[in-house]
Amino acid sequence: MNRLIKNAMVYDAQNDKQGKYDILVNNEKIAAIEPLISDSGINNLEVIDAAGKVVIPALIDIHTHLREPGFEEKETIKTGAEAAAAGGYSAVAAMPNTSPVADNPAVIEQLKLKAAKAAVRIYPIGSITQTSQGEKLSEIGTLARAGAKALSDDGNPVMNSEIMRRAMEYAAAFELPIIDHCEDKNLSRDGVMHEGYYSTIFGLQGIPAAAEEIMVARDIILAEMTGVHLHLAHLSTAGSLNLVKEARARGVKLSFEVTPHHLLLTDQAVKDYDPVMKVHPPLRSEKDRQELVNALKNGEIDILATDHAPHTYEDKLGEFDYAAFGISGLETALALLYDNFIKTDLINWDDLLRMYYYNPAQVLAIEAEGLKVGARADFLIFNPEHNWTIDKNKFKSKGKNTPFNGWQLSGKNEMTFVAGKLVYDDREGRNEIIY
């Protein structure tokens, strides 16, 4: 089948595209991309007028929790992939903190089988240690052979530095990146929010910035020693940014990600004790947030990622102290980033693509050719004029745990194409997943 996208505003500097183009899609590939493509003589053609809309490669989320197997009440591979399609992603990398943990090839194989039927591509991440307990290494070679694209004990840190050192040595040998959740458990203890002025005022146990920064520093030292590619998950403090900058200047091979919620919210948001604000790492101080936004503006952030962490209503019910950590993020990230940072000219579409398409693909060593002839047709059609209000009840994700419910935004993903297939269609408010 053929599809012709007409009059789109196309951004993809990597392929020298910035301006009005027509895009012809033939089955799973981009067949042509020209300022003007005539529809005459093309058989079996659907024409989509994208005047006033933006076309970019669909995003790649390097940090997603799909919950299956084991926690299907929070999310399944199917519903998580649908949320990703709706959010404008062609691919997500699935964290291994399922039950059983993805510390063996059987869990990875199972994920790959189910992923083959999902709305977007899913790349498995294997665990660093058995059951992510931080004590015994997983069989890293076996995980690599089964198709793991990275290793992480996300949800948990690897507290033992000797174990982390060995994990990095193996990972380097198999050319897999190590993705670390940086948290010194002895410092974070039973903390539920950022330690600072507001934790004192609210009477909640704090997690100091140092709990993150100490592990960032340790990981950098070990990465330097072992030569592994270190990817730091969900960095949230000004101190972490400084450590990363210093390491880079020394030539350490590393990358890091920042989430939309850490760019947009602070510890003050915990004021109503609503567990929807409870997340790891915690929402930090306004100063930290401002430093993250500065880094975004200065092109210093490598990767944007959701850390999509869906939970049930019950998991997020009741007292702040006892609720689960995590935010459901796949269906809000792109629009939040557009409305707050692209529309306001802090960054442009190509900055977004660097952080949310090219760099994640590079870390995972997966294909990302962008918008050019012969490339896999993975792209989205975004309508910058689409005014809407975030409504968690319309989420495809089972996780309705968003702190952004009710936010009014301008700009929304309206269509997602994965390998030439229309998987999400929100024209006229359809909000439809297509298989």
Ligand X SMILES: NC(=O)N[C@@H](CC(=O)O)C(=O)O
Alpha helices (H) in 315-391, listed in sequence order: 333-337, 349-353, 359-364
- Residue 325 interacting with ligand X (CB under 6 A): yes
For residues 349 and 355, the answer to whether their CB atoms sit within 8 Å is no
The annotated binding site for Zn(2+) is made up of: 63, 65, 154, 181, 234, 307
- Residue 231 interacting with ligand X (CB under 6 A): no
Stretch that binds Zn ion, among 4-12, 18-26, 300-308, 383-391 (CB under 5 A): 300-308
For residues 257 and 303, the answer to whether their CB atoms sit within 8 Å is yes
Minimum Å distance from CB 156 to ligand X? Answer: 8
Q: Which residues contact 205 (CB under 8 A, 6 or more apart)?
A: 189, 190, 191, 192, 193, 199, 321
Residue of the chain from 154, 291, 302, 315 that contacts Zn ion (CB under 5 A): 154
Amino acid residing at 117: K
Could you tell which of ligand X, Zn ion, none binds residue 231, using a CB distance below 5 to 8 A set by kind? Answer: none
Minimum Å distance from CB 244 to ligand X? Answer: 19
Strand duo 421-425 + 408-418: pairing: antiparallel
Largest CA distance in the chain: 70
- Residue 307 interacting with ligand X (CB under 6 A): yes
Interaction residues for ligand X, span 54-73 (CB under 6 A): 65
Residue of the chain from 57, 124, 126, 155 that contacts ligand X (CB under 6 A): 155
CB atoms within 10 A of CB 338: 23
Query: Active-site residue 190, yes or no?
Result: no
For residues 146 and 105, the answer to whether their CB atoms sit within 8 Å is yes
Q: Which residue has the tokens 């992939």?
A: 81
Residue of the chain from 309, 323, 337, 363 that contacts ligand X (CB under 6 A): 309
- Residue 181 interacting with Zn ion (CB under 5 A): yes
Stretch that binds Zn ion, among 173-181, 260-268, 350-358, 426-434 (CB under 5 A): 173-181
Minimum Å distance from CB 212 to ligand X? Answer: 11
Distances in Å between the Cα of 18 and the Cα atoms of 55, 169, 381, 410 are 10, 42, 15, 22
For the chain, the C-alpha Rg in angstroms (whole number) is 21
Stretch that binds Zn ion, among 121-129, 160-168, 177-185, 375-383 (CB under 5 A): 177-185
**Count of residues that interact with ligand X, criterion CB under 6 A:** 11
Q: Of 307, 339, 351, 378, which is the active-site residue?
A: 307
Backbone angles phi, psi at 136, to 5 degrees: -125, 135
Residues that bind Zn ion (CB under 5 A): 154, 181, 307
Q: Which residues are catalytic?
A: 307
Residues that bind ligand X (CB under 6 A): 65, 97, 154-155, 181, 279-280, 307, 309, 325-326
